[in-house]
Amino acid sequence: MQLGYVGLGSMGLPMALNLLKAGFALQVVSRSRGPIEQALAAGAREAAGYAALAAACDVVSTCLPMPADVERVYLEPDGLVAHARPGTVLIDHSTVGPDTCRKIDAAARARGVHFLDAPVSGGPAGAQAGTLGIMVGGERAVFERVRPVLDAMGKTVVHLGPSGSGAVAKLINNLLVGVHQRALIEMLLVGHKAGIDLDGLYQVLMGSSGRSAVLEMMYPRLKARDFAPRFRTELLHKDLRLALEMAAEYGVRSVTGEAALAATAAAMAAGLGREDTLAMLLPLEQEAHTRLFGEGA
């Protein structure tokens, strides 16, 4: 089975490297030269472009930052759908809205090509370890056909329903991440201003019903004031916007999601869009007239 991969970013590169480790033959296309060289060193081959990649591969995976990038790579005349052979399986790991997935699925079906939306969760560390959560929408028979490919990159791989279902699940996941992150920062600010020991608070919360994955992962990084980008604020802002649009389409207003979106918007307005999502701390500190951890805390 010949695989292709488009988009060797902080998530895509380690996912592609895990496909190589699993023994798959892999061709790659990406905008940045450095990641391509890393993939080539690990045994991949470089394709001349999207059209050449699609024509040569049985399965093509993509991991791209923005919905516009996804539509361009899949749907433009030199894109994957137009040049994939009938029977080819296209798998998108990007975070986009379900309508985008259904649009690509319809175009693929018209050419006898299969499409799965399969966004991932777990961050760069999960991508490197091959332990991602992968949430999949599309035909179950196609999902089962490419299950070995997905299993090479993820630990929790779940088929959720027809086209767009994976995107729905991913937007729900990322809205919860944004909500939990804002709530954690707000409550740490309350604890700090109340004068309690924050390390002690973290310890007791980790043994209590307030425990969460966000608390476990984010508290040490908040304490270190580590805003190096694992997941950029501008990307979470995009995901929250898409999640709120999706919720509104189903007649649901997410007030907590709106608060999380406002926190990312404030960070974006402060010029922190390319910093980690934890940079939402800085405007919230200004609003509370205090500083967590470090000098001046």
Q: For residue range 235-260, what is the model confidence (pLDDT) as tens digits?
A: 999 999 999 999 999 999 999 999 99
Identify the burial level of 197 via C-beta atoms within 10 angstroms of its C-beta, where 0-12 means exposed, 13-18 middle and 19 or more buried. exposed
pLDDT score recorded for residue 297? 72
pLDDT digits (tens, 9 = 90+) for 250-294: 999 999 999 999 999 999 999 999 999 999 999 999 999 999 987
Q: How far apart are CA 171 and CA 290, in angstroms?
A: 32
- Alpha-carbon distance values, 279 to 170, 240, 268, 284 (Å): 22, 16, 9, 9
pLDDT score recorded for residue 294? 76
Phi, psi (degrees; rounded to nearest 5) at 233: -55, -40
Residue 43 near residue 20 (C-beta atoms within 8 A): yes
Q: How far apart are CA 242 and CA 253, in angstroms?
A: 13
Active-site residues, by number, are 170
Residue 155 near residue 187 (C-beta atoms within 8 A): no
pLDDT score recorded for residue 258? 98
Find all residues with CB under 8 Å of 165, minimum gap 6, and list them.
98, 117, 135, 136, 137, 138
Can you list the residues of the chain whose pLDDT is less than 70? 295-296
Burial 220-257 (b: 16+ CB within 10 A, else e): eebeebebebebbbbbbbbbbbbbbebbeeeeeebeeb
Nearest of 271, 267, 270, 214 to residue 237 by alpha carbon: 267
| Whether pTM exceeds 0.75 | yes
Query: Going from the N-terminus, what domains does the chain have, and what CATH number goes with each?
Result: 2-161 (3.40.50.720), 169-288 (1.10.1040.10)
Q: How far apart are CA 2 and CA 90, in angstroms?
A: 12
pLDDT score recorded for residue 251? 97
Residue 109 near residue 116 (C-beta atoms within 8 A): no
